[in-house]
Structure 1
Amino acid sequence: MSAREKILVAMSGGVDSSVAALLLQRQGCDVVGAYMKNWINEENVIGHCPWEQDIVDARAVADQLGIEFHVVNLMRDYRARIVDYLLDGYARGLTPNPDVMCNREIKFGVFRQWGRDHGFTAIATGHYARRVLAKPALTDAPATYSLLEGADKNKDQSYFLALLNQEQLRDARFPIGDLPKPELRRLAHEAGLATAAKKDSQGICFIGEVKMQDFLRTFVPDQPGPIVRATDGAVLGTHRGLHLYTLGQRRGIGIPSNTDFQNYVVVGKRAADRALLVAFDGPDAPGLFCREIRVHHLSWIGAPVSTPAALEGRVRYRDPRVPLEYLPAADGGALVRFATPQRALAAGQVLALYRGEQLLGGGVYL
């Protein structure tokens, strides 16, 4: 990494991005920190989003490192590119992934552009992922890079980067990708960083420590409908809106288990009569498990996979990679056949595609 690089670090107020800034500074880079001000809902206060404290913490670390610090207002772009995307998806019965879209559209989209407009050569984040040189720059072509899982498999965040492209990856830096979390904490404590003991955030990228159902109830009108048992069509109750449920959900459905203590699970949504379809949880629940899905809106970090291939996929952030057969389709999407049935693949979610540790790209379930 060139010491002449001027790098803008996305400092969230957490320990990961704090150590990212620390490591870049130690490598001799010209480092500037910035907090992305993404979402403040002043009309309808819901839950707890500690953005003010996060700015205080990020600024405190910047002061300790002796680096410049900015607060970059991206609220308008965030509303248009992430919040509206999320609300529209849930209103249409989908289960969108705002964290994946946040990285493509905001961190490595408008925030990256803000950095370029202000003379920065790269954007750094606290993601547990690794960027490695795949092909050196030639006189007629820039260097190309591959994206690998983070070295700490318990913290790997490559899934959230599945929709990045090569141009975005060229400008990306992931300084902590080779570190295990305990080592990162040790570095933060040794440096006396203000965030060294701060707990990791568990919130969605823009609404903080807020339950998704509470967020949706605030912005999407209720559209009640029947709760229907998929196996026999029996009506078991009513729900407030299909947007408040997702495939595979077991808690909060609003109907009791049966006398044998079998729990119901959401297995589908029927738009025609706004029916929420449920069944007793288990491998025989209709629609809960599938071996085959279609994906669209494919995005590739390097060259697209244009012929049938044996790959691996991660269907959710915390799930392991699983073997699959990838079959490109004429419409630009693909058919994916899993080696083993996968549970609760909700339309609108993201499938990340891998070849071993290397993240190739991703697409959205149909």
Structure 2
Amino acid sequence: MEKNQKQKVLVAMSGGVDSAVAARLLKMQGHEVASVYVRTWEHEDDLLGDCPGAKDLKDAEIVSHKLNIQFDVVNFIDFYKQEVVEPMVQGYADGITPNPDILCNKQMKFGELMKYAQQRGFDALATGHYCIQKFSHNNEPELWEGTDKNKDQSYFLAQLTRDQLGYARFPLGSFKKPETRKIAQESGLCVANKKDSQGICFLGKVKVPEFLSHFIQPNPGDIVDKMGNKLGTHKGLHRYTLGQRKGIGVPSNTDHERFVVTGKDETKNQLIVAFDRPEESTLWSNKYGLKKVRFIASQFDKTQEMDLLGKARYRDPSTPIKLFPSKNNEWVVEFKHPQRALTPGQVLAFYNGEQLVGSGIYSHSNLGRAALSS
């Protein structure tokens, strides 16, 4: 895209300040802008949490009217259930901890919504993500961390394809959050002081265990220590994740040390816990298996070992990693420094400096295994 080329851009309007200002900036730049709000859930009362969809929809409509841009509502309820909710639920049922936000960006925003935009003749799809899009000397799209390191959201886009990234636009990449709110205030947008959304993509701050109870039957079992001693009763292994401290249901000891989940024995339906201590070997590892490894950047030889930086999870600082390729697109990542409780199903994002170049999903490690002391 030429720097001054005017485009027809569709903005994914969430009802929050970020997407509102993204639309405002694009219009100020002279683009032909329209907006769309995506409905993903039919009965919000079923969500057992804070999902102010009606308010978000109204705010998105008010902002679009204020900016004098076309506003539409699209119903992706069935698609969202099939491509985001059901895989998330199945992941928990299988004992992993999926990342629905990354899946949502890949399948929903830059999958189905991108197709919607393309079919209606739009040149690009814009969102309010804090990250920077660049184009290389041979016009390949690149994704870089946003200027506001506290808000950088490149991690959540780690599984996009090159084609998806090329169609995307991120107007807020060079802005900091206070600047975004200032623009909203100066533009008279009703969402200028609206709180940031939290929780699951398109659902909000739902209570995950209660949400999962709509789909997964309870299956209580024993909570045991590494010696196999029973300490309590869990409510179903799908409700717990490696490294979890809160809500386990086992009280602290007399020294106020807290228990932490260190593994699951699915054959015995046992949840394994230990005290959360720095020397607890079942919590820390520097080697993890990766599956579904993909690279956005094309300059890497997928058959060779490579030294990069990795973000083990969102908001974690980048840390040196070494990637080792193996068969069937299964890789091993070795961290320079041991990492705490990285859970199968979560995503490791690869960076070359501040450029996001690829990602992989944790498949296994030496942690979380059903290995009790004899």
Relative to the length of structure 1, the TM-score reads 0.96
2:91 match: 89
Q: Secondary structure at the match of 2:285?
A: strand
CA distance 1:106–1:214, shift in 2 (3 Å): same
Any conservation in 2 of the 1:33–1:68 contact (CA below 8 Å)? yes
In 1, the alpha carbon distance for the partners of 2:107 and 2:25 equals 26
Q: Secondary structure at the match of 2:203?
A: coil
2:156 match: 160
Structure 2 unaligned spans of 5+: 364-374
Any conservation in 2 of the 1:164–1:300 contact (CA below 8 Å)? no
| Offset of residue 97 of structure 1 | 0.2
Moved over 4 A (4+): none
In 2, the alpha carbon distance for the partners of 1:158 and 1:201 equals 17
| Offset of residue 260 of structure 1 | 1.6
**Match status 1:336 vs 2:333:** yes
| Offset of residue 39 of structure 1 | 2.2
| Offset of residue 118 of structure 1 | 0.7
1:309 match: 306
Which 10-residue stretch deviates more, 346-355 or 302-311?
302-311
| Offset of residue 219 of structure 1 | 2.1
Deviation readout 1:94-113 (Å, 9 max, x if unpaired): 10000000000000000000
Q: Secondary structure at the match of 1:135?
A: coil
Q: Secondary structure at the match of 1:257?
A: coil
**Match status 1:322 vs 2:319:** yes
In 2, the alpha carbon distance for the partners of 1:273 and 1:316 equals 30
Any conservation in 1 of the 2:133–2:169 contact (CA below 8 Å)? yes
Which of residues 338, 350, 355 is equivalent to 2:347?
A: 350
Any conservation in 1 of the 2:312–2:349 contact (CA below 8 Å)? yes
In 1, the alpha carbon distance for the partners of 2:40 and 2:63 equals 20
Q: Which amino acid aligns with 2:124?
A: A
Any conservation in 1 of the 2:44–2:51 contact (CA below 8 Å)? no
**Match status 1:276 vs 2:276:** no
Q: Secondary structure at the match of 2:11?
A: strand
In 2, the alpha carbon distance for the partners of 1:286 and 1:258 equals 20
**Match status 1:233 vs 2:235:** no
2:21 match: 19
CA distance 1:292–1:158, shift in 2 (3 Å): same
In 1, the alpha carbon distance for the partners of 2:336 and 2:325 equals 17
Q: Secondary structure at the match of 2:172?
A: coil
**Match status 1:258 vs 2:253:** yes
Q: Which amino acid aligns with 1:349?
A: Q
| Offset of residue 207 of structure 1 | 2.2
Q: Which amino acid aligns with 2:313?
A: R
| Offset of residue 258 of structure 1 | 1.1
CA distance 1:305–1:350, shift in 2 (3 Å): farther
Which 10-residue stretch deviates more, 317-326 or 22-31?
317-326
In 1, the alpha carbon distance for the partners of 2:301 and 2:277 equals 35
| Offset of residue 315 of structure 1 | 1.2
| Offset of residue 152 of structure 1 | 0.3
In 2, the alpha carbon distance for the partners of 1:289 and 1:266 equals 12
1:139 match: none
2:244 match: 249
**Match status 1:293 vs 2:305:** no
Q: Which amino acid aligns with 2:262?
A: V
In 2, the alpha carbon distance for the partners of 1:180 and 1:8 equals 23
Q: Which amino acid aligns with 1:260?
A: D
| Offset of residue 344 of structure 1 | 1.1
| Offset of residue 222 of structure 1 | 0.6
Any conservation in 2 of the 1:279–1:286 contact (CA below 8 Å)? no
| Offset of residue 155 of structure 1 | 0.2
Any conservation in 2 of the 1:134–1:146 contact (CA below 8 Å)? yes
Any conservation in 1 of the 2:324–2:333 contact (CA below 8 Å)? yes
In 1, the alpha carbon distance for the partners of 2:45 and 2:65 equals 33
2:169 match: 173
1:215 match: 211
1:44 match: 46
| Offset of residue 206 of structure 1 | 2.9
Relative to the length of structure 2, the TM-score reads 0.94
Any conservation in 1 of the 2:305–2:323 contact (CA below 8 Å)? yes
**Match status 1:202 vs 2:198:** yes
In 2, the alpha carbon distance for the partners of 1:9 and 1:43 equals 27
Deviation readout 1:219-254 (Å, 9 max, x if unpaired): 211111110102x22111111101111111111100
Any conservation in 2 of the 1:3–1:30 contact (CA below 8 Å)? no
Any conservation in 1 of the 2:23–2:33 contact (CA below 8 Å)? yes
